[in-house]
Amino acid sequence: MTTSVISADTTPGAATAARGSIELRQVRKTYGDVVAVDELDLVVQPGEFVTLLGPSGSGKTTTMMMVAGFEEHTSGSVLIDGKPVDALPPRERNLGVVFQNYALFPHMNARENVEFALRMRKIPRAERRERAEAALERVGLGGLGGRRPRQLSGGQQQRVALARSLVFNPAALLLDEPMAALDKRLREHMQEEIKTLQKSLGISVLFVTHDQDEAMAMSDRIVVMKDGRIVQSGPPEEVYAHPLTDWVASFLGDTNLVPCTVLERHGSEAVVDLGGLGIGRVQDRGVVGERYAVSIRPEHLKFRPGAPEENGGTGTMVSSTNLGATIRHRITAGGHELQLRELSSESTGRSGAAGEVHVGWDAANAQLLVLEG
């Protein structure tokens, strides 16, 4: 079993009050014809953990590079702790940085790697050494300071990188896919440790991942990016439960998307035509006659004893896969392939059975989403 090795107590001199706001105002970056980031407005509050989540090429790294000062923006402004830093080189922005491609120096041992940033800042040797040891201790590498990177595991190397980013007591941390190279188990472990560390330091973090589970697990707020723009931003539960578009819904976990047309509205309820699945009801508003998608998460699709009159239909089982804790069923109904997920412990034994099944959902669990594609 793994245990938490990152120390939760604060080092002497480390500020424990929340600090380190980051603000982007209308930040834009173009490379020739390519618009990598487009008029981005974003505020990370002191002590907040904000994650940029988006597919490859959505502008996450470019955004981080501009905040760090490694890349100049085409227009807009970046502020740290309320002060514009556009004219400041990276070293003077007081940010700790762990980027995926920001490797350790192979010819230096762990402690020298951590000390490097302090050497650049002209900190006296004895103090440097003391602070580097303390930072290594904090990430659970006390006693391993003499090892070269190749004598450390991938996880330990990432810890050195983390220690290096923390050693000068930065206002905020920028972490760009810091765990991409680690296996699943180690990654989950590091996720918890980074959260613990962030809370004990009261430091704000701007984090990047393309992994929605990681974003859900770590963030106070998720900022979903697509094509250099923010498509939605909010607490993880909110973005998951109330995606604004069909694209966000399917990017943030599995979902069943059924195209529909709004037939009529009664207050906040809309009656929709689900094609082969008949009539549905949703709580969200919509414009009568317009096309949308109804989204039903696989955990909200349920087997029904009989054919539902609305919000569901009758179909046939395609496959059932036991995933351990849950069972995933694929069902075709009304011309749609639907996914139904149930807890293995609550399964009623339909697993593997072929033939007709009735499935449905509660109106409260269905959402009308704008089609984005």
Q: From the centroid of its chain, how far is CA 303?
A: 31
Q: Which stretch binds ligand ADP (CB under 6 A): 31-39, 160-168, 257-265, 308-316?
A: 31-39
CB hemisphere CA count around 166 (13 angstroms): 31
Member of 60, 187, 297, 300 binding ligand ADP (CB under 6 A): 60
What is the dihedral sign for C-alpha 30, 33, 36, 40?
positive
Q: What three-state secondary structure class fits 18? A: coil
Question: In angstroms, what is the minimal distance from the CB of 33 to ligand ADP?
Answer: 10
Contact (CB, 8 A) for 40 and 230 = yes
* Binding residues for ligand ADP restricted to 325-364, rule: CB under 6 A: none
Candidates 53-61, 73-81, 269-277, 331-339; binding stretch for ligand ADP (CB under 6 A) = 53-61
Q: Does 211 bind ligand ADP (CB under 6 A)?
A: no
Q: By CB under 6 A, tell whether 73 contacts ligand ADP.
A: no
Strand pairing report for 204-209 and 172-176: parallel
Residue 142 CB, nearest distance to ligand ADP (Å)? 34
Do 272 and 285 meet the contact criterion of CB atoms below 8 Å apart? no
Given a contact cutoff of 8 angstroms between Cβ atoms, the answer to whether 100 and 64 are in contact is no
Structure tokens at 229: 């723009």
Tell me the two tokens of residue 318. 């395609």
Q: How many residues lie near ligand ADP (CB under 6 A)? A: 11
Q: How far is the CB of 243 from ligand ADP (least distance, A)?
A: 19
User: Whole-number minimum distance, CB 44 to ligand ADP, in Å?
Assistant: 17
**Residue 31, interface with ligand ADP (CB under 6 A)?**
yes
By the criterion CB under 5 A, which residues form the site for Mg ion?
60-61
Q: Does 105 bind ligand ADP (CB under 6 A)?
A: no
Instruction: Give the span between the Cα atoms of 139 and 161, in whole angstroms.
Output: 10
**Cα 122 to Cα 59, 168, 254, distances in angstroms:** 34, 12, 51
Instruction: Tell whether residue 61 is a contact of ligand ADP (CB under 6 A).
Output: yes
Which range binds ligand ADP by CB under 6 A, 50-58, 79-87, 320-328, 360-368?
50-58
> What token pair was written down for 164?
């290096």
- Select from 8, 34, 353, 363 the one that contacts ligand ADP (CB under 6 A): 34
Is residue 54 a contact residue for ligand ADP (CB under 6 A)?
A: yes
Which residues of this chain interact with ligand ADP, rule CB under 6 A? 31, 34, 36, 54, 56-62
